[in-house]
Amino acid sequence: MRTICVVTATRAEYGLLRPVVQKLAASPALRLQLVATGAHLCPRLGETVREIEADGVPIAARLPIFIGDENEPVAVAIARTLTVFDAYFAAHRPDAVLLLGDRFEIFAVATAAAARHIPIAHISGGDVTLGAADEYYRHCITKMAAVHFPSCADSAARLVRMGEAPETVFCVGGLGDENIRTLPKMSREELCTSTGLPLQQPFALVTYHPETSADAGSPAAQSEALCRAMATVPGVYWLITGSNADAGGQICTARMQRFAAEHPDRAGFIQSLGLRRYLSAMQYAALVAGNSSSGVVETPTFKVPTVNIGQRQAGRAICANVLCCAAEEPAIEAALRRALTPAFAAIAATAQSPYGGGDTSGKICTVLANFDFTKPKQFYDGPVPEFDPQRSVLV
């Protein structure tokens, strides 16, 4: 049996990885080695390892990498993560490491694996997010990875243009799209009871993270602009979730908490909804707002009106249900008001997600069981073929 080490560092990442983790745990051909790290083990970020525990999946290791100082330089956190995971891989060497996405923690894990010549399988390579440092972390992971699972045809083609051989690129579709289609959702009444918030009325689901590119604006100014805009838009309740572990995340979270406290009849704050509550909230929401990747990647499946703020997701495919605006109060207010109109709801209903791939997690597990990880990686200079996520093979 091949041992596949799956590393997860954030609530959003685990939510996407969940069906893959479950299939790996049940596979007769693969042995799961699940490692929780990063925000999962951090109390100030919701200690979301409890969501993994609730799923009943065995956790092979819990490896803390944060010291509690949100202002710690990213390079220092990367160095610590490298050291921690190098020691872990030395003692518990898997046959391959499965990683999702583009965060600095995952970049450090990939670097530790690559340094020990452990093959890397990478989910969601080839995406573009110009407003976040995730952009170059993601592409660095791509160049270290042996096999790739992009979420859409555009990303698959981009990987080949980056020199990845077509036979190593499996266009499997998006795990978020699979979760939306397969995970049982709460009823609206269950969602209200679970959150303790009055969500029978029209509500907006809001998640705002700091931008992390070199020319990023101030997290304090941008979250302030969002709060001021929300305060002026009537007719909707604001369901707000906490920000992530990026520098400035605590600033955004604190401002959102203050907004909820200042408007108790119009807003509620929950640090982490967890996957089932989050997707259930997205299903019933009149509006999704902020700058989370889920706002542009997952909302098209629900066809929910969405406002994507600022540059964090710049470069991703934008569907008909998404309005993009600058991270400034007048632009945010105008976009929120337009997104809540019946006219835009009709436009959002026409959205077609490019991320549909069917049994995405099953396809990933099949490839992991059969891929030849011993084959040396070579730079590919040939033509770019067409990809079809529904077939997960070259056309």
HSE value, Cβ hemisphere, 13 Å, CA-based, for 34: 21
Tell me what pLDDT residue 314 has: 83
* Residue 118 DSSP symbol: -
Tell me what pLDDT residue 394 has: 44
> What tokens appear for 106 in the block?
């995952």
H-only helix segments in 285-359: 294-297, 299-302, 329-339, 342-348
pTM score > 0.75 for this model? yes
Distance from C-alpha of 276 to C-alpha of 274, rounded to nearest angstrom: 6
Place of tokens 């991703």: 316
Distance from C-alpha of 99 to C-alpha of 188, rounded to nearest angstrom: 33
Tell me what pLDDT residue 214 has: 65
Tell me what pLDDT residue 299 has: 95
CA nearest neighbour of 66 among 56, 58, 76: 76
Helix (H) / strand (E) containing 109: helix 104-115
Residues 6+ positions from 244 with CB-CB distance below 8 Å: 10, 12, 39, 45, 209
Burial class (CB in 10 A: 0-12, 13-18, 19+), 48: buried
Residues 6+ positions from 57 with CB-CB distance below 8 Å: 21, 22, 25, 32, 34
Residue 36 Rama label (left phi>0; alpha psi -120 to 50; beta): beta
Buried b (16+ CB within 10 A) or exposed e, 168-187: bbbbbbbbbbbbbeeeebbe
Distance from C-alpha of 85 to C-alpha of 113, rounded to nearest angstrom: 8
Tell me what pLDDT residue 390 has: 60
Residue 26 Rama label (left phi>0; alpha psi -120 to 50; beta): alpha
Averages of pLDDT over runs of 10 residues in the chain (395 residues) are 96 92 96 96 84 93 88 92 98 98 95 98 92 88 98 93 96 90 94 97 95 79 96 97 84 96 97 92 97 91 96 87 96 98 97 86 96 95 83 48
CA nearest neighbour of 257 among 268, 273, 246: 268
